[in-house]
Amino acid sequence: MDIARTPATPDGNPEMADAAVAPKDFVSIRREDYMPFPWLVPQVAMDFALGLDETRVVTTLTVERNPAAEASKTIRLNGDEIVPVEVTVDGEGWSDWCMDGDDLLVTLPGAAHTIAVTTHIAPAANTKLMGLYASDGMLCTQCEAEGFRRIAFFPDRPDVLSTYRVRMSGDREAFPVLLCNGNLEAEGEDGEAHWAEWHDPWPKPSYLFALVAGQLVANSDSFTTMGGREVALNIWVRDGDLPRTGHAMESLKKSMKWDEEVFGREYDLDLFNIVAVSDFNMGAMENKGLNVFNTKYVLADEETATDGDFDGIEAVIAHEYFHNWSGNRVTCRDWFQLSLKEGFTVLRDQLFSQDMGSAPVKRIEDVRILRGVQFPEDSGPLAHPIRPDSYQEISNFYTSTIYNKGAEVIRMMRTMAGPERFRAGTDLYFERHDGEAATCEDFVRAMEDGAGLDLKQFRLWYAQAGTPKVTARLEHSGDTATLHLSQHVPATPGQPDKKPMPIPLKLALYDRDSRERGAEQLVVLDGEELTLGYPGFATRPVLSINRGFSAPIVVEREVSSDELVFLATHDDDPFARYEALQELVVRHLKAGASGTLSAEARQEGELAVADAMAAVLADSDLDDLMRGELLLLPSETYVAETMERADPAVIHAERQGLRASLARALETEFLALYERAAAVPFAMSAEAKGARKVKTQALAYLAAAFPDRAAEMAFAQYASADNMTDRQGALMVLTGLDVVERTNALIDFYNRYQGNALVIDKWFALQASSMHPHCLEHVRALADHRDFTLKNPNRVRSLYMAFAANPHAFHAADGEGYRMIADLILALDPINPQTASRFVPPLGRWRRIEPGRSALMKAQLERLAAADLSRDTAEQVSRSLG
């Protein structure tokens, strides 16, 4: 499953510990308490009589005692807001059952039985968007993690694997298309109704069940697997959306081919369906043979989608398809193993995207997301290992730590093993555990045996939370350079003391005079300290460390500004070059934010950054995609995370001041870059995409120093744009300026795209993430707009998540931004707790903010804690305060 991705900040930067305080009286689920379920459920048959207001479901379970589990005469069938209408056992009415809260307990006398339970559910009233619900007249399901229990009584846990046969019937006009997992075996008509029967031959957990019924049309194609089998492909959407599905289909076929070539994984059914749904809590869901997607990650054309949207669709399509093996064929034993499938699959989709586009740019983008979302999670009250020991609400477990850090941990194994040995390890993993519910330990053991790695100590990455800090100190004496490395893993909730972890570091030394680089070396720092000697350097060399971001750590190094400028200009590792420039800027901004920076030191710092930026602008060997990454200033959120207690207003002022200073110093260069990029005609090539990227970035720099001129340029770009990337980029610049062109462009944009929900989401998000001085007031007004609704997660995220990720507005000195998010949580929680709970973490950063704002943030959390909240939201609030 792909979690809903964090909205971008105005410059394009993306923004569970076993905590001490448990929310209210909710019970903690502990990993150490895992026991196999006492009953196997090898077969499930379901009969759906479909209706928007009421759907009748008859679920028949074939059950038998599990010889690997402790015997029990009672089978617990989980439920959530459903009641049994009828219960039969072996075809006979049955009275030996009772309810235990939401769960149905049935007592069975023998070793094997057939249990049938009838339930009635109300899809149209299901605002939680979990289980079976209605979306714009269509019926669809979302069952991960525990949504299936809202459809039928069942042992709703990932280690109960069953084959499913499903019969669906409904009004032919309302539900002309009937879809389910697996292969279609039969269909027919019965008066005004029609029916379809589906069979999925592959055993799966209940969270992978899917059903869709509604008025849909398909973009159909096919793919021939490496084994010669032809697979029918369909992307189902609303009729008017069909022209915008071509990119998604091409992305699917590329994913299938790539997975065969790189991981040796072939698709295993005769049919693969994707359905686009407008109401969806997540990004997409990998249900076996029937992926359900948020429309955001399916629909695209040049007029309505940006280059970033195209890339996102390709990545998410790949992610869900890759789950067919890393998640479906091999699934999780329990939810503590969630990173087994998600971390591994994120790595697979990252490697795919690297191969489809620019590998260096993709790596930098992935690291930026990790630092913008996961690093703050790792250093705050919600910190947890990628395989935690306990949780209260499973939906809060879908975190950047599980997904992004989980991917980095497996990437480190790949770095240590190399691609060929890593492939041998994954082949062994799939061979050993195909058709099973596995654990993270199973994966690590397969890597040890297949890739030949010793991962005994490496297992600490699964058990310990927190981002390791590595200190690097380089000494030079005579002709020898000596590198001293040390590591420290900070304390996190429930884990005050940490052991050293194996940290693979790619590093190299540069001769300052000749600019020649020594051989790149992979060093594993597996203790608290390590000293390395490098002879043959007559003068002090320059250290390039954590090249390619070989480990998800924070590097603290003694390095001069001159050395950072050298690396930002000459390092041949793209990430290391990017890192040097980021570090140079962060150092300057932190010094400015400290309030102790003299005028002379400020001028020297600005000059150093300008020199590095000038080299980036002048480097003819750089492609514009990479140039665009190097030109991005670190986000305000990232700068704040490098400080013990941050003042968001001061950081904002410093960052905007530096941007304006760079624009004045490099005005001629930015204008030349803009003119050159503007002359590149529209295409989907890397060259054209890079030109669009740097064109808007140049405009954003110029706007900081020359707002009136930039407004004219931006409005001209907006008016003449022949694609959404250019139009949105121009509008992004305009929304941050207090000029008449801003109003005119916003009105035109709304009128031009009114009725296209995904584009109107952009309209909301651009205003909520803007640098405009009255952004907070704009957000308050947009909440009353006729197109805003709390019932659609995309619309809620487009306005409020974009706002919460905008430090300039969210951290208003009077605390009004905090109150606004708390008000939203209170209003949204009764409607959609899963979405509401995701707005708590921004308030949970209160310990890292200066005292005045910190007290205001904490007060809003305490206000929330006093309310009657869902388990989802209560857990997040309690941990944030705890």
Active site residues: 320
Residue by residue, DSSP assigns 117-167 as: EEEEE-GGG-TT--EEEEETTEEEEE-TTTTGGGTS-B--STT--EEEEEE
Classify the C-alpha dihedral 539-517-587-846 as positive or negative. Answer: negative
Find the largest Cα–Cα distance for the chain: 93
Residue with tokens 């040890």: 448
- Let me know if 374 is exposed, middle or buried by CB neighbors in 10 A (0-12, 13-18, 19+): buried
Tokens of 736: 């941050």
Give the CA count within 13 Å in the CB-facing half-sphere of 38: 15
Q: State how far the Cα of 366 lies from the Cα of 360, in Å rounded to an integer.
A: 10
Task: Output DSSP code: residue 517.
Answer: B
CA dihedral for 424, 429, 432, 434, sign (positive or negative): negative
What lies within 8 Å, CB to CB, of 529 at 6+ separation is: 484, 485, 486, 487
How far apart, in whole angstroms, are the C-alpha atoms of residue 861 and residue 874?
10
> Cα angle vertex 455, ends 454, 458, to 5°?
140
Closest by CA to 9, choosing from 369, 380, 379, 382, is 369
Task: Please give, one letter per residue, the 3-state secondary structure of 154-187.
Answer: ECCCCCCCEEEEEEEEEECCCCCEEEECCEEEEE
The structure tokens listed for 590 are 């932190």
- Dihedral, CA of residue 579, residue 584, residue 587 and residue 588, to nearest 10: -150
Angle at 97 between CA 96 and CA 98, to 5 degrees: 135
B/e letters for 725-735, b = 16+ CB within 10 Å, e = fewer, are bbbbbbbbbbb
> What value does the CA radius of gyration of the chain take, rounded to a whole number of Å?
28
DSSP count for the chain of H helices, then E strands: 30, 31
Beta strand pairing status for 554-557 and 542-545? unpaired
Burial class (CB in 10 A: 0-12, 13-18, 19+), 197: middle
Contacts of 200 (CB under 8 A, 6+ apart): 163, 164, 180, 181, 182, 183, 269, 288, 289
CA dihedral 781, 787, 790, 793 (to 10 degrees): -120
What is the rounded CA–CA span in Å between residue 396 and residue 393?
A: 6
